[in-house]
Amino acid sequence: MYTKLWLDYETNDSGVRVLFDDPFSEDRKIQNAVKELKHCRFLKDKTVCLRITRDESLGEEGYHIYGNDPEYTIEAASETGLLYGAFRLISLLRLGFREVCEVPENRLRMLNHWDNMDGTIERGYSGNSFFFENNELIINQRTEDYARCLCSIGINGVVINNVNVKDEACRLIDDRHLIQVKKLSELFSSYGVKLFLSLNYAATMEDERIQSADPLDPRVGLWWERKFDEIYEKVPELGGFLVKADSEGRPGPFTYERTQAEGANMLARALKKHGGILVWRCFVYNCQQDWRDLKTDRARASYDYFHNLDGCFDDNVVLQIKNGPMDFQVREPVSPLFGQMPHTNQMIEFQIAQEYTGQQRHVCYLIPWFKEVLEFEICAKGENSRDSKVKDVVSGKTFDYKISGMCAVANTGSDENWTGHDLAAANLYGFGRLAFDPELSAEEIASEWIRLTYGNNEKVLQNIQKILMMSWPAYEKYNAPLGIGWMVTPSVHYGPDPDGYEYSKWGTYHKADCRAIGVERNASGTGYAGLYLEPNASMYENPETTPEELLLFFHRLPYSYVLKSGKTLIQHIYDTHFEGAEDVERMTELFRELRGLIEEKAFDRIEKRLEHQLWHSKEWRDVINSYFYRKTLIEDEKGRKLY
């Protein structure tokens, strides 16, 4: 059994009359739209008219909804548009109806699952995979409910297997699995969602006649061409493939001293005639950096590997770039690659699986963080230029990209409530809504999600909204300070361990000693700050102009450094860590006020997680504070207990 997420409106038949201009349409998307409308109790005794229009301004996926109770009309230029319109009408009836004409801002709105075929999920925090079990693909009612749920928030692409393609997943593109892949692809397509697969770049190594993955070896390209012909013959609706190459032990073109573009294009060319998209990740870095090596800077890696290749990628390749230069920390600057490759399709990769942000045991509503990233002005067309925020680059507006958009590492699994923490579903909902319309505010999205999930009770709305909006800042406060990141237990990425990465061979260092902390990333250090376009490069060059939340990301500073608040760095660390735990205390109180107002089982689940978070935030507070206290021997001005 599992809960219904925000789609809780089903009844057997609401008595709605649904009219469609072309009553003989066999299209499954139309049938799904009609089914949704018929099952919606808010539509009891109303009439909904579905109409395909020639209005080109609605594009492939937009819709226009209008009408007056009890008659509504949904117009769209395609079946997908009508289906989206059906979900939107239903949510508008819960939220308060108004006429809307909406077109998604991003062409690709994807989720990446890191599911393995044995049923485990890499960095999964909500149970096992519901796509795979015992090396087989599963398709059941839950799969359909998931497709429906993604469609209801406008997601139009899903990668079902882990980017680390190993074991049986290497054979997912073989005949044996393609029958199920086809079924799944058809199911998703009927909800407007394209299926994508992650590929093992070195698959040709296993062919005895080739035993190479050199992208410039014609036998390699030919092998892929035949492979894609075979796949698309069986699964014509497949969206394309995602590749992680030359990263964290995954093979790639570097083995043959070829560039990332040579590797990507070899696959893209073989895919082209099928209309497939190749999503190529930029998460390429040396994960074994020696601590004595002061020149290599992980933050620079993707820029250094990709920037000079602008214009070298084929037009059915899109580069997938993590939001920051590191790896989904609670705070990072935006990746300097955005806006600096005008001739190369780009999309942004976020992570709603809360790998470094509390693993869905802590509430951490990530949408305010994603908003900040999207709103960041990269000045791609010079200072004061228009349309050059991150959101404009990834929507394709800045440079007129052919393919671009947003994706996120998914946070769902086989748990009863899908996302481990009930409140983590707000991140799934929020990501979809934001990818559709980046202008929505984090507050608006939270309020929509709460009302669609828990109903319109004012107290529930107010308290959960406060909890969600407090949660990311609170998490940041009790975590590693001022953008330094990585004070987490290596490998599991959960719980405080300030020196964990310092002494592991994974190669990510903060270099704290008794006087100072941080890696200098300006011109006198690794030069990372200079990778940004002006005025950002100058802003990050200097500690005085660097936004304080990123101070220790860019600069090595003494603990006595005075912040704009007048506090020293060390006092700021102590204060924020106490505040973070207090915030969680407040969040727990706010939630407890809702006993009796939301369903008991859900209430209990959330309360338990908040209790854990409260304990754990204090653990973070104490471990981080005592770490800095013992390093510096500087007392807390307020005389609070430091261990």
Query: Where do contacts with ligand GCV occur on this chain (CB under 6 A)?
Result: 114, 122-123, 162-164, 244, 248, 283, 327
- Asked, as a colleague might, if the bond just before 253 is cis with ω within 30 of 0, I would say no
Residue 528: DSSP 8-state: G
What is the spatial distance between Cα 483 and Cα 552, in angstroms, rounded to a whole number? 6
- Least distance in Å: CB of 454 to ligand GCV? 33
Catalytic option among 36, 105, 168, 327: 327
**Positive or negative torsion for Cα 520, 524, 525, 529:** positive
What is the spatial distance between Cα 460 and Cα 442, in angstroms, rounded to a whole number? 17
Find, among 205, 159, 204, the residue nearest to 185 by Cα.
Answer: 159
Catalytic option among 75, 105, 297, 355: 355
Radius of gyration of the chain (CA): 25
- Least distance in Å: CB of 287 to ligand GCV? 8
- Least distance in Å: CB of 490 to ligand GCV? 10
Cβ distance to ligand GCV smaller for residue 384 or 491: 491
How far CA 632 is from CA of 514, 549, 570, 627, 636, in Å, comes to 5, 21, 9, 9, 11
**The token pair that represents 384 in the structure block:** 């004061």
Query: What percent of the residues of the chain are helix, what percent strand, and what percent coil, each to the nearest 5?
Result: 40, 15, 45
- Concatenated DSSP letters of 109-139: EEEE--B-TTS-BTT--SSS-SSEETTEE--
Residue 51: DSSP 8-state: E
Cβ distance to ligand GCV smaller for residue 162 or 204: 162
- Least distance in Å: CB of 557 to ligand GCV? 27
Cβ distance to ligand GCV smaller for residue 91 or 198: 198
- Concatenated DSSP letters of 463-509: HHHHHHHHHHHHHHHHSSSTT----B-TTT--SB-TTTTTTSTT---
**How many residues in the chain?**
643
How far CA 413 is from CA of 79, 346, 355, in Å, comes to 29, 28, 14
Cβ distance to ligand GCV smaller for residue 249 or 455: 249
What is the spatial distance between Cα 248 and Cα 362, in angstroms, rounded to a whole number? 27
- Least distance in Å: CB of 176 to ligand GCV? 24
Does residue 636 carry a catalytic annotation?
A: no
- Least distance in Å: CB of 521 to ligand GCV? 20
- Least distance in Å: CB of 321 to ligand GCV? 11
Question: Which residue is associated with the tokens 């929509």?
Answer: 448
Catalytic option among 71, 99, 167, 248: 248
Cβ distance to ligand GCV smaller for residue 51 or 123: 123
Cβ distance to ligand GCV smaller for residue 5 or 319: 319
Does residue 355 carry a catalytic annotation?
A: yes
**Positive or negative torsion for Cα 80, 83, 84, 85:** positive
Cβ distance to ligand GCV smaller for residue 105 or 355: 355
| Residues classed as catalytic | 248, 327, 355
